[in-house]
Structure 1
Amino acid sequence: MSTLGMSSMSKVTTRSRVDLVADELRNAVAAGSLAEGQRLNEIDLAGRLGVSRGSVREAMQRLVQEGLVVVLPNRGMFVLEIGPDDIVDIYDARRAIESSAALGLMGSCRHDVLSALQEQCVLMSRAAGSGDHAELTAADQRFHEILVESLQNRRLQKATQTFAVETRLCLTRLEGKYGAPQEAVNEHLDIVRAIKSGNAKEVLQAVNVHMDNAIDLLTGRSAAASTASA
């Protein structure tokens, strides 16, 4: 958890200050300690992290470049707010990359990767059973990271890192939205089973179902469709 979400906060050391501050701010955004739409106060953040205002300013500029912080003229810097269109864009980008990764794993004999994916499913199931939503989210995110890493494509990994925190924000929003947490686990298990089956159609279907369900839950798209058809 980000120290920005704790009452007793640790101080950032002088080692690579700007990198550490940028990481701390990203983690705080991902965890919701810095809420979407919240105005960022340079003086406040510098005091809470025990660093100079210059370090905070440079770190926030990095987040501006990454799209996690927006600058509103004459108003200041604010944490990005993710709307329905953003959610669709994020998950469609993930759909393209992760479908490619899943298809690439078929018949590749990458048993190490499949075992790692299966392990995250076990962790997710355990977290779902205990009601630990934070651990469920962490295992969920790691599952998808492993899937993308299997591509062994530095450029694609870098591309996904640019919206990694946005993805984390979406995953945090999903906490509690599944009727039963095991639903989320089952969707990931279906992806692993499809990869093992060697059937490309099943792989694409499993990935698409997972991404579409996430979009529906996050945007309320399915609920709106049900209302419209009623």
Structure 2
Amino acid sequence: MTIAPKSTRATMPALSPIVRDSTPALIAQELREAVAEGRFAPGQQLLETSLAASLGVSRGPLREAMQRLTQEGLLIAHRNRGLFVMDLDEPAVRDMYLARGAVERAAVEHLIATGRNARATELMTIVEVMRAHAGSPDGPEVSALDMQFHRTLVDLSESPRLISMHRTLLTQVRMCLTRMQATYDDIETRVAEHAGIATALLGGDVGEATRLLAEHMEDGLRRVLAVVPAEA
């Protein structure tokens, strides 16, 4: 009698369908934007009852959304006290820029090593749009373009892990940009820094690109530290 070979195909467990835009995801995005834009101040406590009433949602999905932001580091849980927006003090800002610089430097190096740096023309397009806002160098539009430049820079690397880490960091960085906008009194400084990075990328000069990126990060860090408290 011939015995049929055992199937090596694993039996797949039953899984629930994925909801593209679940309520907790939508709530998390709304809270994320509010934190990034400064509608919730650093260190402010978030109260479930008030938030649920304001958003028109039940506390179950709200708790799940707040847990997501806790995992991202945007909210901090204090035992027996509740959830608070992360503090934006000097140690936090320095660590934020340290991590951001590491991710963006890795993206630059990867872009050049893989030949994807030719796509940095997308960055030059953003720079030109930024230049068009010469009349409002400290406006929210320029800060949004600043974030778009750096998000695009990392997205071009096509590294899922770099992109994921960077997205989380950028929400925290936006908290900084909200406060540092007023430190710019002309557009050329911002334009020149971003244009220099894009030009070095297009030229495949990894040393120049990473040097200019580091200088840009140092300038941003100085500007943020000028407007945030030294201690929590």
Using the size of structure 2 for normalisation, the TM-score is 0.81
Q: Give unmatched runs, 5+ long, in structure 1.
A: 1-14, 225-230
Give the Cα separation in 2 of the matches to 1:37 and 1:91.
19
Pairing 1:86-101 to 2, within 5 Å after superposition? 86-101=92-107
Residue 53 of structure 1 aligns with an amino acid whose one-letter code is R
CA distance in 2, matches of 1:104, 1:189: 19
Corresponding letter in the other structure for 1:40? L
Match of 1:27 among 10, 33, 46: 33
> Which aligned pairs between 1:22-171 and structure 2 lie closer than 5 A?
22-106=28-112, 108=115, 110-111=117-118, 113-131=119-137, 133-171=139-177
CA deviation map 1:188-228 (0-9, x unaligned): 0110122233333211221111001011111139xx9xxxx
CA contact (8 A) 2:137 2:184 kept: no
Q: What per-residue deviation string (whole Å, max 9, x for no partner) do you get for residues 26-60 of structure 1? A: 01001111111111111111111111122212211
Label 1:55 to 1:178 Cα distance change in 2 as closer, same or farther (>3 A).
same
Q: Distance in 1 between matches of 2:203 and 2:121?
A: 15
Distance change (3 Å), C-alpha of 1:210 and 1:79: same
Greater radius of gyration (CA): 2
Q: Distance in 2 between matches of 1:188 and 1:194?
A: 10
Aligned-pair CA distance for 1:168: 1.5
Q: Which amino acid aligns with 2:58?
A: S
The DSSP-based 3-state class of the residue aligned with 2:76 is strand
Q: Secondary structure at the match of 2:135?
A: helix
Q: What is the alpha-carbon distance in structure 2 between the residues aligned to residue 183 and residue 104 of structure 1? A: 27
Is contact 1:174–1:218 with CA below 8 Å preserved after alignment?
Answer: yes
C-alpha distance in 2, partners of 1:28/1:186?
A: 30
Give the distance between the partners of 1:36 and 1:61, measured in 2 at CA: 17
Q: Which has the higher contact order (CA 8 A, sep 6+)?
A: 2
Given residue 149 of structure 1, which amino acid in structure 2 is its aligned partner? D
Q: Is the 8 A contact 2:126 2:145 kept in 1?
A: yes
Displacement of 1:139 in angstroms is 0.8
CA-based RMSD of the aligned residues comes to 2.1
- Secondary structure of 1:162's counterpart equals helix
In structure 2, the residue matched to 1:7 is: none
Q: Secondary structure at the residue paired with 2:182?
A: coil
The runs of at least 4 aligned residues of structure 1 exceeding 4 Å deviation read none
Q: CA deviation at 1:118?
A: 0.9
Using the TM superposition, give the Cα deviation of residue 130 of structure 1 relative to its aligned residue in structure 2, in angstroms: 3.7
Which range is displaced more, 21-30 or 78-87?
78-87
CA distance in 1, matches of 2:25, 2:56: 14
Q: Which has the higher helix share?
A: 1
Deviation at 1:71, TM superposition (A): 1.6
**Is the contact between residue 103 and residue 195 of structure 1 (CA under 8 Å) also seen in structure 2?**
no
Question: If the length of structure 1 is used for normalisation, what is the TM-score?
Answer: 0.82
Sequence identity percentage: 38
Q: Contact 1:70 / 1:77 at 8 angstroms: preserved in 2?
A: yes
How many residue pairs end up in the alignment? Answer: 207
User: Is contact 1:29–1:169 with CA below 8 Å preserved after alignment?
Assistant: yes
**1:79-136: CA deviations, max 9, x gaps?**
111221221222122222222322333482643x322101111222222434561111
